[in-house]
Each structure stands twice: as structure tokens, then as C-alpha cells.
Amino acid sequence: MVFPFKSIEDFKVEINSEHELFRKSVREFLEKNVEPRWKEIEDTNEIPKEIFKEMGEQGFFGIGIPEEYEGQGGGQLMTTILMEEIARIVPSLAVAVGVNHLFTVPILKFGDEHLKKKYIPPIARGEAQGAHASTEPSGGSDVAGIQSRAVKENDHYIINARKVFISGAEKADYFVVPVRTSDPMQNKRWWGITAFAVEKDWPGVKLGQHFKVIGMRGEQPYEVIFDNVKVPAENMIGKENEGFKIIVSTYDFTRIGIAAQAVGIAQAAFEKALNYSLQRELFGKQIINFEMITEKIAHMYTKLEAARLLTYWAASLADAERSEFIIAASLAKSFASDAAEWISREAVQIHGGYGVDQEMGLERYLRDSIITTIYEGTNEIQRLTIARELVRQAFGLKI
């Protein structure tokens, strides 16, 4: 027994040649079509529409979506590789792709066939985009604390909600929106939340404030307001009042994507630091010959590969439908995002003054890495999840 897992066989990472061929094709596309435009994205705070069009033509939006809904299939590990490679070039583009998963995962896992056939294929084809409107001014990680309301009227629900820090909101055609349909039960704060699929062009749905956050330029979040929005009852995802389980289950999967974003950021920062240390000369020799730089490079590489292994492991467990993937996902997300921030900071230090020059394109990785430590549940919340899952899986107890 490898506490709290059952066997050392649980630590397998199921990689094959198809994964590597996919990675190479994604990297080739991104280096040719996206990397030359990173500065334009940073300066304008917008991702050009033609990039999304070209990615749709490549089938990238269908990765992880079953073929029966016009996706490419591929599972969680293939999705992880995609997110990593995109974030290596432009992290905000990985966010723009990732928010689709926040919409498709709950529909695919909990929605009825009507919702799957209506909303999933357009996203898989790259013709529409989804987003996830959960966070409220009162908080985001505490899903049970949602205060927005939906009231049933005949065969519809009327939603009134104010959601904040919603990534992808300006591009989204559809939202997953969790709201309260009942008051919580005693000792069950999570009870009473219901999730709905809401279309952006329905009356009463509007964008509010645009949040100018520290990083992820090109895909920065918005406030989304739902003012007496009339939603058909058939757009309910799963069961009424049990939406909490749907939302937190969604995050169990999608936080692996955040870990993958962090790995991509760490990979880019490491590559730039290593290349610079081989080119930069100081006191007549390359700076990689200085012991302090060598030590930094070695530590950066160690954290990078550990983050990648944790992330691929979590994805492999998810693809194997093992319940242990939940704890692995939190391990991967918290470790990889912390590692990305640390590696990016060290890369800036190695570059010296050039490291904080926006024209160099390095400091953006540090700014973006900070975001990965916060969304999809802060790293403090991930450590709480780890402890709770550890006790639950090992002893069957709740803390």
C-alpha cells in the first residue's frame, strides 16, 4: 500500500506515440501562427479573431469532446497537452480555450441529451464559445456561498444574478450559471444550488465591468449581469438543488487544465532563462558558468519536471475514471502554479534588467503565473481539498 493509494501501479502515466505526435503538431501550429503575434496581444489586450478561426479549423476546440458530439475525442491527457503547449506561447489564449471546458464538462457529465446535442457540437467545431459564471462578489472558492437567485415560473426560471471575474465572458455565446433555487438545509450549506445553461443573447444578459487584472492580457475577466433572465426549465443541468455537486465536480477536472497552463508557463520561462544564460557574458564568461546561475537553472528544471509529472499523472487518473484523481488534481494545480510563479521569478532575475523589459516578453509569464495560483480555487483551497480527500479516502471521515 502506498498511502493513501492502493498500489504503486496507481502512479502510472499513460503516454503513447499519439500524444507526442499531437504535441508536435500543436507546437508547430502555435510557433508559426501565434507566437509572432504575442506582442500584439499584450499591447491591444485582445486575441485576434483569426487565431480562433484557425484553431477551430485545426480541431483544437474539439479536443476532449466525444466524437458523437462532433469533437476530436482524446480525453483529459490530450487536453492537458493542448493547454500546456498553448500556455507556453500565449497563456491568455490557453485561458480562452480552457473556459470552454468549464462549460462543456458539466454539460457532458450531468446534462441531458437535449443540452449535449444543442450546445456541445458548435463549441467542438469552433463556431461558438462557452464560459462559466459562478464567482460572485461575496466569493468564488466557496461555491456553497452562492447568493444569486432563480425563481420558477411555469416552465421557466427567472434568474437574477451578478457574477464577477468571469473569464471569456466577452467572447462567450453560452454560460453555465449556478444560482440558488432554494434556501440551504440545516447542516447542508450546499443544498439549494441549481446550474443552468444560459445563452448570452437572451434578454437581460449583459456584460458589466471589465476587470484589468495583473496578467492574462488578451483574456481578462468581466462582470456578467443576469437581470430577470427567462431560462427554460429544460436548460437545467442535472437535478434541481443539487448543482453544488455539479460545479465542484467540474472543477475537479478543469483544475488539471490550470496545472497544464502553469506547466506551459514554467516551460517557456525556463527555456528563456537557459538560453539567456548561455548567451549572456559577464566578466569574460557565460553566466551559466557562475555557480549561483547553475544552481538556479537546476532548481528550475527540477520543479518544472515535477510539475509536469504531477499534472500528467492527474490527467491519467482522470482518464482512467479513478476517484483518486481529485486529490491528484489539487496536488498538480497547487504545485504546478506555485512552481510556475517561482520559475518565472527566477527567470526574470537571471535576465536582470532585460527580465522586466516588456519588449523582451519574459515578465508577462511572471504576471500570468500569479493568476494560475488564484483561479479554479486558490492554492490555499487546493491544500484544504488535499487534506480533506486524504482523510476521506484513507479513513472514510469528513473534516
With the C-alpha atoms ordered 102, 143, 191, 385, is the resulting torsion angle positive or negative? positive
Please choose, from the candidates 241, 188, 195, 256, the residue with its C-alpha nearest in 3D space to the C-alpha of residue 398.
188
Helices and strands: H and E segment counts in the chain:
11, 10
For the whole model, what pTM was predicted? 0.95
pLDDT, tens digit, for every residue of 36-91? 999 999 999 999 999 999 999 999 999 999 999 999 999 999 999 999 999 999 99
Segment 253-295, tens digit of pLDDT: 999 999 999 999 999 999 999 999 999 988 889 999 999 999 9
Q: Look-up: residue for cell 462557452?
A: 130
pLDDT in tens, 180-214: 999 998 888 889 999 999 999 999 999 999 999 99
Q: Which residues are catalytic?
A: 376
Q: Helix (H, G, I), strand (E, B), or coil: what is residue 296?
A: helix
What is the per-residue DSSP string for 191-205?
Answer: TTEEEEEEETTSTTE
Q: Is 132-241 the same fold as 15-128? A: no
- With the C-alpha atoms ordered 213, 252, 116, 181, is the resulting torsion angle positive or negative? negative
Tell me if 229 sits within 8 A of 156, measured CB to CB.
no
CA 353 remoteness from chain centre: 31
**C-alpha pair distances (Å), 23 with each of 27, 372, 382:** 6, 22, 28
Topology of domain 245-395 in CATH is Butyryl-CoA Dehydrogenase, subunit A; domain 3 (1.20.140)
What gap in Å lies between CA 37 and CA 50, rounded to an integer? 11
CATH architecture of the domain formed by 15-128:
Orthogonal Bundle (1.10)
CB-side neighbour CA atoms (13 Å) of 257:
29
What confidence tens digit (pLDDT) does each residue in 152-163 have? 999 999 999 999
Q: Does domain 132-241 have CATH number 2.40.110.10?
A: yes
Kindly report the number of other CB atoms within 10 A of residue 219's CB atom: 26
Q: What is the DSSP string of 225-252?
A: EEEEEEEEGGGEESSTTBHHHHHHHHHH
Residue 175 has pLDDT above 80, yes or no: yes
Residue 323: the pLDDT is 86
Place of cell 508577462: 364
Q: Where are the domains of the chain?
A: 15-128, 132-241, 245-395
The number of CA neighbours under 13 Å toward the Cβ of 260 is 27
pLDDT at 1 over 60: no
